[in-house]
Amino acid sequence: MASTTRQATLLLLLTLQVGVQPVLMGWYASEARDVRLRVGVVELLKLLLALVPLSCSRGEAGLLAQLKGWRLRAALATTVLPALIYVLQNLLNHAAVVTLDGVTFNVLNQTKIIWTALLVYLLLGKHQSPLQMLALGMLCIAAVLMTSSSVETAEEQGAEVKANDAAVFTGMYQALLAAVLSALAGSLIQRALQREKRNQYMITVELSVLGEATLMLLALVQGGLMSAPDNSDSQDSM
């Protein structure tokens, strides 16, 4: 009974997170126009949240033990590619959330579950149950209906509104591509966790550090993290 209650509580919290996430992202995206800066803040928060359980753990799972056993070669082999994928995925998501409403963004973003199931099968050979396949099919149908309804609405509107619809379609493609990238990175990390037997929080720390380094390099190449372009909307496009 306790296990069922715990599972239901975690499922409820996950549901709330999925529902609130696009609202919060859209809210602070309207204030912080630089996509790189927004993604950098998210990576920093992930780093801090991963360090908390590491610091509180004892024994082999503790922070000191993990640092003593840490190897650069193993870390690079495990996390470099997923870190780069996650950075691109986050940039796409933060650009898409500005142009999409919360429902559309959520439905398209959750298609990452479909891609994760496919990639987990291809990379790890793990099959899905019939009930899971049914749920994935329903999610796929919802994504198709959401996209097709937006296309039909755009065809019925005037030329002036279609200019805004072009931005919405771009946001849809960004969200869909981000979902695929999220599934790919997650599958690679899952394979690393199974094969290398590494601590998941330590991997999160590595991903966040590499992500921040990538964003800083990107900022230097593009002319500075805090520089403001002439067109303030240009940084929200990818």
Summarised one tens digit per residue, pLDDT across range 176-200 is 899 999 999 988 888 887 777 788 8
Of 44, 65, 45, 46, the closest CA to residue 55 belongs to: 65
- Does residue 151 register a pLDDT over 60? no
Q: What is the pLDDT of residues 111-130, one digit of tens each?
A: 888 888 888 888 877 777 77
- pLDDT single digits (tens) 61-107: 788 888 888 888 888 888 899 999 999 999 898 888 888 877 788 88
Q: Is 223 left (phi over 0), alpha (psi -120 to 50) or beta?
A: left
What pTM does this model have?
0.76
Highest-scoring range by mean pLDDT, 60-64, 80-84, 142-146, 233-237: 80-84
Least confident of 104-108, 118-122, 134-138, 154-158: 154-158
Written as six digits, the tokens of 169 are 């379609």
pLDDT tens by residue, 24-65: 777 776 666 778 888 888 899 999 999 998 888 887 778 888
Looking at per-residue pLDDT, the higher value among 128 and 212 belongs to 212
Question: What end-to-end distance do the CA atoms of the chain give, in Å?
Answer: 48
With CA atoms as reference, report the closest residue to 110 among 141, 156, 75, 65: 141
Higher pLDDT, 129 or 202: 202
Look at residue 228 and tell me whether its pLDDT is greater than 50: no
Q: Determine the Cα–Cα distance for residues 27 and 22; give it in Å rounded to an integer.
A: 8
Q: Give the tokens for residue 150.
A: 């937006």
Rounded CA Rg of the chain: 20
Torsion angle of the four alpha carbons 71, 221, 184, 186, in this order, in degrees rounded to the nearest 10: 50
Whole-angstrom distance, CA of residue 135 vs CA of residue 222: 42
Q: Which residue has the higher pLDDT, 227 or 148?
A: 148
Token readout for 192 is: 């690393």
